[in-house]
Amino acid sequence: MPGDDRAETFVSLHVAVDFGTSSTCVVISVDGREPQVVMVDGQPLVPSAVFAAVDGTLFVGREAERQAGIDPSRYEPHPKRRIDEGELLLGSTVLPVLDVVHEVLTRAVGEARRLADGAPVDLLVLTHPADWGAMRTRVLRQAAHGLGREFILIEEPAAAAVFHAGTRSGAAVGVGPLAVLDLGGGTVDASVVRRRGARFEVLASKGIPDYGGADIDQALLEHLGVEVGGHDPAAWQLLVAGRELADRRRRRVLHQDVRGAKETLSRHTFTDVPMPHPFPDAHVTRADLERLIQPDVTRAVDLVTATTQDAGLQAGDLAGVFLVGGSSRIPLVARLVHERIGVVPTTLDQPETVVARGALRAAALDPERTSGLPAPRQGPPRAVGPVGSPNPPGPTTPTGAGMLRTPPGPPLPGPSDGRPIPPSAAPRSRSRPRPVSAVGHAGQPLSTTASAAGGSTALRRWALPVGLGVIVLAGLVTALAFFLADGRSDPGTALAGGGASEPSEPGVDDGGEFDGDAFGVGLEIAQYDYRFAVPTGWEQSGGDAQRRSVQIRPVDSPPDTDLIVVEEWLLDYDSDADRERALDEVRRSYDAASEEVSGLDEAARFAGREVVHYRQRLSSAEVDWYVYFDGDVQVNVGCQHTEAGATAVAQACEQVVESLTVTR
């Protein structure tokens, strides 16, 4: 099209939207690459909520949640539940449900297109509950009109099964019938599916339309009312039901704290909930939460048994049970599935994103669904940055429990166009994992500074970027929050694997497939352009799509003490062909850093691999960094340990590095 810049970009954009009761997840695939979650406001989910302003503006997502504090009557948190009603009354405004759903989908697709510089959507995939009939799916189809060149629908449990079955843990369950239990924010759905060629067909499905994570939050809030509300019953009633603006704002903050407490209790056995004046802070245990929700969670788990019977099967016929949805993180859910069904369920990191990720995979695997689609447009690939990161990686700040986000401030220098280099158009084949090397983020070591809040310690990063030969030392900036004790270890002793001989590579068979049994690990994380084994007793505790990073730590350990960070940087050259350039850039960056980093070894051996190693000394801990170059990908593994955790972190770090595989 003359004058249309997008006609010259030659990008094939596929988008999947999981329009949920409480939250919506968006996933994109650019030029056929692996689907990745779109981060919206730094989060993998955007609320499905809407707010109709007096002037006719319809706010969607977190903007709607914020506006709800002004006039709750104009707010609808769960428009998916209203799909059958035809119209919504929001304040004095009457809106067709179709228009409301269209606005939510438009926001979701808009976020995806923003990350692809406005490229048109070639394929839009929408998911829906398995028990939706023709009337509801027609509303969904009409609401998606004009948002993509082509459009298909996929049932949610089928999409979830495709994603799970595509992982190492999912492949182990075989090809028999599978149960999918989806515990979302506002509903519970149980389905039994069976593979038919490239598709999974739904044999039976049941649901609880009025129970989900939001109801768990409400149960916990009511528990707090019993525990602390008695100090001033009148003030408590104002807090939970008052209509004054100040009451609504305090209530909104309280709901956020309650939701956070629920999420914390999925990882820890207790937590404290800050309460507004005049109430004392509340102490809540996991046992308290389980006592409150066990009857309803039991009812949800029993749906699997009932659905299996509807499919003409018995529990013993199931090859596996997959858990989906944010509330599936609650340990009680997996325990009850095992007790009542006799099957140890399978769940993955970010279970609330599984359906959307699986939807794009299902579309790609099923030629019957996509045979009518136009072929990807040919031409030079456009530079598209990492999903969720329209800006180049920059300094990070703590957001609790090790979660990362990019704060305001100057970005770190990077490639000449100011953004990370995109993946190459023709990925090279790999038969085995390659050696590993290390520098902090994009070649950035870390240093510490005292935090202003509570006397805690925070890591600061020296910016040592690797890209296009531009080596610029950025200023010290705040990054991860750490609460640490003093510790030291020698890379040749405490971090085992530094011997002169090169051991074999357990965990990788002759075809390059990962073998978790060789490592004694709990699961495998496959995200961005790398994958690695999570050692037994460790769990994912955070991540940052802007830095393509994943954090893990020991289960039930205090946040931000002992942890391992794995992160990726994309290069504009092949480090296999020009190894000296990669090493030279790390060397110059290291030389520009402070005395807080030491021991640079450009030819170190660790976990049977050739790595670049250096150590960063913190005020009360140490971090061993390993930089792995594989073609145009640099993966950095940072292993932070306190004195008490030095041995455990060393062992876990060795397993992570040994199992690390670049997948591009």
pLDDT at 589 over 80: no
Burial 172-206 (b: 16+ CB within 10 A, else e): ebeeebbbbbbbbbbbbbbbbbbbeeebbebbbbb
Contacts of 187 (CB under 8 A, 6+ apart): 21, 81, 129, 207, 208, 209, 210, 211, 212
Instruction: Of 425, 413, 416, 465, give the one whose Cα is nearest residue 569.
Output: 465
Return all residues near 230 (Cβ < 8 A) that are at least 6 apart.
Answer: none
Q: What is the pTM of this model?
A: 0.56
Residue whose tokens read 């769940």: 347
The token pair that represents 406 in the structure block: 């990019």
Q: Is 620 helix (H, G, I), strand (E, B) or coil?
A: coil
Q: Name the pairing type of β-strands 530-535 and 622-630.
A: unpaired
pLDDT digits (tens, 9 = 90+) for 10-61: 478 999 999 999 999 999 998 888 888 998 888 899 999 999 998 889 999 9
Q: How far apart are CA 389 and CA 463, in angstroms?
A: 18
- Residue 271, sorted as left (phi over 0), alpha (psi -120 to 50) or beta, turns out to be beta
d(CA 628, CA 631): 10
pLDDT band at 210 (very low <50, low <70, confident <90, very high): confident
CA 3 to centroid of chain Cα atoms: 38
Q: Which residues contact 440 (CB under 8 A, 6 or more apart)?
A: 446, 461, 462, 464, 616, 625, 636, 638
**CA dist 127 to 156, 184, 209, 321, Å?**
5, 14, 17, 20
> Is residue 107 within 8 Å of 143, Cβ to Cβ?
no
Q: Find the distance separating the first CA and the last CA of the chain, reported in whole Å.
A: 33
Mean pLDDT of the chain: 74
Q: What span, in angstroms and rounded, lies between the C-alpha atoms of 500 and 419?
A: 39
133 contact partners, CB below 8 Å, separation of at least 6 = none
Q: What residue spans define the domains of the chain?
A: 5-162+355-370, 168-347, 397-406+435-662
Indicate if 168-347 has the same CATH topology as 5-162+355-370.
yes
Three-state secondary structure along 482-506? ECCCCCCCCCCCCCCCCCCCCCCCC
Which of 598 and 439 is assigned the larger pLDDT?
Answer: 598
Cα 546 to its chain centre, rounded Å, is 12
Per-residue pLDDT at 490 exceeds 70:
no
41: three-class secondary structure by DSSP: coil
Gap between the Cα atoms of 662 and 568, Å rounded: 10
146-165 per-residue burial string, b: 16 or more CB within 10 A, e: under 16:
ebbebbbbbbbbbbbbbbbb
- pLDDT, residue 25, reads 94
Q: Is 397-406+435-662 a CATH 3.40.1000.10 domain?
A: yes
Q: Averaged over 118-145, what is the pLDDT?
A: 91
Query: Does the N-terminal peptide bond of residue 278 adopt cis geometry, omega within 30 degrees of 0?
Result: yes
Report yes or no: 321 and 345 within 8 Å, Cβ to Cβ: yes
Q: Which two tokens stand for residue 98?
A: 């179709």
Q: Which of 86-90, 430-434, 583-587 has the lowest mean pLDDT?
A: 430-434
Mean pLDDT of 492-505: 32
548 or 128, greater pLDDT: 128
pLDDT at site 546? 61
CATH topology of domain 5-162+355-370: Nucleotidyltransferase; domain 5 (3.30.420)
Per-residue confidence (pLDDT) for residue 381, from 0 to 100: 34
* Predicted pLDDT at 616: 86
Q: Which two tokens stand for residue 606?
A: 């660790």
Give one DSSP letter per residue of 112-171, joined into a string: HHHHTTTPPPSEEEEEE-TT--HHHHHHHHHHTTTS-SEEEEEEHHHHHHHHHHTSHHHH
Question: Which helix H or strand E contains 238, and what residues bound it?
Answer: helix 233-241
- With a cut of 80, say whether residue 626 has pLDDT above it: yes
Cα atoms in the 13 Å half-sphere on the side-chain side of 105 = 29
Q: Which CATH number fits domain 168-347: 1.50.10.10, 3.30.70.260, 3.30.565.10, 3.30.420.40?
A: 3.30.420.40
Tell me: the pLDDT tens digits for 508-532?
333 334 344 444 444 778 767 788 9
Chain length of the chain: 664
* Residue 392 in this model has a pLDDT that exceeds 70: no
Q: Is the pLDDT of residue 481 over 90?
A: no
pLDDT at 257 over 60: yes
Distances (CA, A) of 264 to 2, 268, 379: 54, 6, 48
Angle at 529 (CA atoms; ends 525, 535), nearest 5 degrees: 25
Greater model confidence, 556 or 182: 182
Which one, of 46, 42, 24, 13, lies nearest residue 112 by Cα? 13
